[in-house]
Amino acid sequence: MHEEWTDLMSAAVDGELDPVTTRRLESHLAGCAECAAVMADLRGLIAAASSYQGVAPASDLWPGIKGRIDATKVLPFARRSRARFGFRELLAAGIVMAAAGAGGSWYWTHREPAALAVADRPVSGAGFELTSTAYDSALAELGRTLTARRGQLDTSTVRVLERSIRTIDQAVAEARAAIQRDTANAYLNEQIAANLRQKLNLLKAATRAINSAT
């Protein structure tokens, strides 16, 4: 192993070496198996480090965290001094969430029969209709809130909000279409209902955010 070359290897694997020195190093590695092995090891080490997933604490820390959260009564929104900024973030999350929901609908309506056999276990309660009604109500309330507060929100916020509503609306429409195509599938019904419940919570949070931001 040649130190004058190994000293350059970290910079080389990080892409920080100039082209001329890189070529010189490559040339050396071509003729030096020992240094080439070091270089390969460094590559492997870096790959392993970046994929390292950690280790859980020896004891469960969640009860302590939950206790402190409950004790302080601090909500993520309540602590914000710039509510409008956080509101936009929430809407951005809404877009992703809605898109994920649409993807979920697609998955549940296009998956392979083998997957269906495993997944379609009996479930009680087909909550889609109930959730869907609540969802319509929440969406309507968000629309009314937006209309009432439009003048108090900046235009970019309104644009993001309107885009989110359109995306969410589309995801809900896809979910409804999926239910109609497969009305007897209780598991599909329950999955989409669960997805809608998440979006319902998001819409409620968005409405609260608008009210607190204006």
Partner 1 sequence: MEAALTAPAMSLGTVTSPFRPGADMDDVALAVGGDADAFERLYRRHVPRVNALARWLVAPSDAEDAVQEVFIRVWEKLGTFAGQSAFGTWLHRVAVNVMLRRRQNLGRDRARVTDDEFALTLVADGPRQPELRMAIEQAVDGLPPGAREVFVLHDMEGYKHDEIAELLGVDPGTSRSQLHRARMMLRKVLA
Q: Do the Cβ atoms of 133 and 111 come closer than 8 Å?
A: no
Q: Among residues 55 and 117, whose Cβ is nearest to partner 1?
A: 55
As a whole number of angstroms, the distance between CA 124 and CA 117 comes to 17
Interface residues for partner 1 in 100-119 (CB under 8 A)?
100, 103
Q: Is 76 exposed, middle or buried (0-12, 13-18, 19+ CB in 10 A)?
A: exposed
Q: Is 140 exposed, middle or buried (0-12, 13-18, 19+ CB in 10 A)?
A: exposed
Location of structure tokens 């809130």 = 145
Provide the minimum distance between the beta carbon of 97 and partner 1 in the complex, in angstroms, as a whole number: 5
Query: Should residue 45 be labelled a site residue for partner 1 when binding is judged by CB under 8 A?
Result: yes
**Residue of 19, 20, 59, 114 that binds partner 1 (CB under 8 A):** 59
Q: Is 142 exposed, middle or buried (0-12, 13-18, 19+ CB in 10 A)?
A: buried
**Residue of 133, 183, 201, 211 that binds partner 1 (CB under 8 A):** 201
String of contacts with partner 1 for each residue 17-36, x by CB under 8 A: ---------xx-xx-----x
Task: Select from 66-74, 135-143, 151-159, 184-192 the region that touches partner 1 (CB under 8 A).
Answer: 66-74
Q: Residues touching partner 1: how many (CB under 8 A)? A: 69
Q: Which residues are CB-contacts of 54 (< 8 A; sequence separation ≥ 6)?
A: none
Q: What is the amino acid identity at position 50?
A: S
Provide the minimum distance between the beta carbon of 131 and partner 1 in the complex, in angstroms, as a whole number: 15
Query: Should residue 134 be labelled a site residue for partner 1 when binding is judged by CB under 8 A?
Result: no
As a whole number of angstroms, the distance between CA 111 and CA 52 comes to 32
Task: Select from 110-118, 132-140, 147-155, 194-202 the region that touches partner 1 (CB under 8 A).
Answer: 194-202
Q: Which residues are CB-contacts of 13 (< 8 A; sequence separation ≥ 6)?
A: 39, 42, 43, 46
Provide the minimum distance between the beta carbon of 143 and partner 1 in the complex, in angstroms, as a whole number: 19
Query: Should residue 92 be labelled a site residue for partner 1 when binding is judged by CB under 8 A?
Result: yes
Location of structure tokens 């995801």 = 171
Binding site for partner 1 (CB under 8 A): 6-7, 9-13, 16, 26-27, 29-30, 36-59, 61-62, 64-66, 68-70, 74-77, 79-80, 83, 85-86, 88-90, 92-94, 96-97, 100, 103, 198, 201-202, 204-205, 208
